[in-house]
Structure 1
Amino acid sequence: MTDLLAALLLGIIEGITEFLPISSTGHLLIAERWLGHRSDLFNIGIQAGAILAVALIYRKRLWGMLLAFAGRDAPASHDPPGITATPAQSRDYALKLGAAFATTAVGGLLVKKLGWELPETGTPVAWALVLGGAWMLLAEHFAARRAAALGERSAITWPIAIAVGIAQVVAGVFPGTSRSGATIFIALLMGTTHRAAATEFAFVVGIPTMFAATGYELIDVLKSGQAANEDWAAFAVAFVASAVTAFVAVKWLLRYIQSHRFTAFAFYRFALGAALLALVPSGS
């Protein structure tokens, strides 16, 4: 297999799995057994491509929130429902996004300083996949019961925003948990029973969070001199593949959850966790 084809496949895998609640880390661990391990800069690049795709999907939402702080009405949007568009509501939503991001930033720096992070190796990632699947089923169950009793709720409260920030830190400590999975389902458990609203908040707060984390890692990589040895053609192919497939995957997911639960993803995580335990040695 040529290096460009391997880069293309890795970019596609990253794009599909980064924002679906199935763990990009677990998939890339398996894929690298056949496609080869890549540099830190390459891995940063394909992640950045996926983030860029989501920023493009929510560009009107993000622009609307910026306009709200200037006291102007946001333009009409045809994006999926969930984020309100009046100036007052957009400001409130943006402040809650900021609170979630700040919680993640402070918690992430503390975790990094203390060295609280499991290695991205087969066994811990596999168990994070399995436990995350159980977490998803539990959240779906209680969210459905609450929705049946009280009706669907799409509001993101301040406690939910803070909890989503904490969930992002937890996902960073336990590779394989899935950042999107952790954040979506903490919102569901804490009262946002509307799946689309919980998903959108998780995705939008992921934009600044993941751009910040990617930028932080990129500075370290550039300082180490790794960029001088990078295959830039393969890097570009993977970046574009990741961006395109992430765009398609997120658009599909937003339509899918309008009429489906996340149950299928939970069972997929169980299967992937078992495959990871079987195919990837515990120390790899």
Structure 2
Amino acid sequence: MTDLLNALLLGIIEGITEFLPISSTGHLLIAERWLGHRSDLFNIGIQAGAILAVVLIYRERLWQLATCFLRPDQKTSVHGQEPRDYAYKLVVAFGVTAVLGIAVKKLGFELPEQVAPVAWALVLGGVWMIAAEYFAGRRALALGERSTITWTVAILVGVAQVLAGVFPGTSRSAATIFVALLFGTTNRAAATEFAFLVGIPTMFAATGYELIDVLQSGEAANEDWAAFSVAFIASAITAFIAVKWLLTYIQSHRFTAFAVYRFVLGAALLLLVPAGS
């Protein structure tokens, strides 16, 4: 029962942090020090649970993009651009992530086991967020409201997803949202939506890749599927609530509060957790 409770807590942590710009991977790596280390399949799989919540929230947009190739006369735009053009940019962003992600995996990259690198990533990520928010604000004042996602943004978002995975504590959502704000759209809602939609195929593909690897290696027999299921469901439910709240919050607020949270958490970890732990 204790193990199921720990899995439930990990699922809740993942669901809350996956789409808030505070790094879900960083939080999971820290939480596992007290709640028990989990397999890569567990950690990536519950991220897919959080992604499932985004699928439900953006189900109408996803249906629009899925059917735009069958309905060439479709007049409804996606943030002021033609649906097929938007869909192609999502495909390109995912393609960049997939190619670079596989390359990183082949190089044998492993997540850090020590807290210090994650703590520093949280702090430096907070600095990056404040700086990015400032320059994005200046762009918005100079250029006005721009919701269009450019090809440059699509490529850079794909790269940002991989970099966020390589440096736990960076935050995939923060990296992708601010790349979009700094190099393309000035609209926070449009940048956030593109970042979240790209995350759908990315995390499902990562889960599938890890699942195949586990099945081929025979490690599936060692996986606690009951704990996995509990965490997956908890992640999906809490992510749904968190994303709904975030989409409302960003309509009238900046991301500064998240940067402050990252500073406080990162500093606390550096001060309270022994070096080398």
Instruction: Give me the TM-score of the superposition, normalised by structure 1.
Output: 0.90
CA distance in 1, matches of 2:212, 2:59: 26
1:94 aligns with 2:90: no
Q: Distance in 2 between matches of 1:184 and 1:100?
A: 13
After TM superposition, give the deviation of residue 229 of structure 1 in Å.
Answer: 2.6
CA distance in structure 1 between the partners assigned to 2:60 and 2:73 by the alignment: 12
Aligned residues of 1:125 and 1:175 also touching (Cα < 8 A): yes
Mapped to 1, the partners of 2:26 and 2:99 lie a distance apart of 26
Q: Which runs of 5+ in 1 are unaligned?
A: 77-81
For the residue of structure 1 that corresponds to 2:214, the secondary structure is: helix
Q: Equivalent residue for 1:184?
A: 177
2:25: which partner in 1?
25
**1:245 maps to which of 238, 246, 268:** 238
Is the counterpart of residue 121 in structure 1 residue 105 in structure 2? Answer: no
Separation of aligned partners in 2, 1:146 and 1:200: 19
Q: Is the 8 A contact 1:4 1:237 kept in 2?
A: yes
1:51-130 residue pairs with structure 2 within 5 A? 51-71=51-71, 83-84=78-79, 89-115=82-108, 119-130=112-123
Q: Does residue 6 of structure 2 align to residue 6 of structure 1?
A: yes
* Partner AA of 1:38 in structure 2: R
Is 2:27–2:169's contact at 8 Å kept on the other side of the alignment? no
Secondary structure in structure 1 of the residue aligned to 2:53: helix
> 1:233 offset after TM fit, Å?
2.3
Q: Give the Cα separation in 2 of the matches to 1:219 and 1:283.
A: 33
Cα separation, 2, equivalents of 1:94 and 1:268 = 34
Partner deviation per Cα, 1:105-140 (whole Å, 9 max, x = no partner): 112222233345662531221111111111111111
Task: State percent identity of aligned pairs.
Answer: 78
What does residue 79 of structure 1 align with? none
Give the aligned partner of residue 222 of structure 1.
215
Q: State the distance in 2 between where 1:270 and 1:52 align.
A: 29
For the aligned residue pairs, the C-alpha RMSD in angstroms reads 2.2
The amino acid of 2:78's aligned partner reads I
Q: Which amino acid counterpart does residue 21 of structure 2 have in structure 1?
A: P
Q: For residues 251 and 143 of structure 1, do their structure 2 counterparts lie closer, same or farther at Cα, with a shift above 3 Å needed?
A: same
More deviation, 90-99/29-38: 29-38
For 1:196 and 1:270, the matched residues in 2 are separated by 24
Is the Cα contact below 8 Å between 2:8 and 2:231 reproduced in 1?
yes
Q: CA shift at 1:55, angstroms?
A: 1.3
Secondary structure in 2 matching 1:22: coil
Asked if 1:138 is matched to 2:131, the reply is yes
Q: Which deviates more, 105-114 or 251-260? A: 105-114
Distance (Å, rounded) in 2 between the aligned partners of 1:255 and 1:232:
35
* Aligned residues between the structures: 277
Q: Give me the whole-angstrom Cα distance separating, in 1, the residues matched to 2:128 and 2:213.
A: 34
Q: Secondary structure at the residue paired with 2:145?
A: coil
| Deviation of the 1:167 alpha carbon | 0.8
Distance 1:134 1:24 in 2: 18
Deviates more, 1:224-233 or 1:146-155: 224-233
Which region of structure 1 is more displaced relative to structure 2, 67-76 or 260-269?
Answer: 67-76
The TM-score normalised by the length of structure 2 is: 0.92
Q: What residue identity is the alignment partner of 1:243?
A: A
Q: Is the 8 A contact 2:20 2:173 kept in 1?
A: yes
Alignment check: 8 A CA contact 1:22 1:129 kept = yes
Equivalent residue for 1:256, pick from 244, 249, 253 = 249
Cα offset, 1:72, TM superposition: 5.5
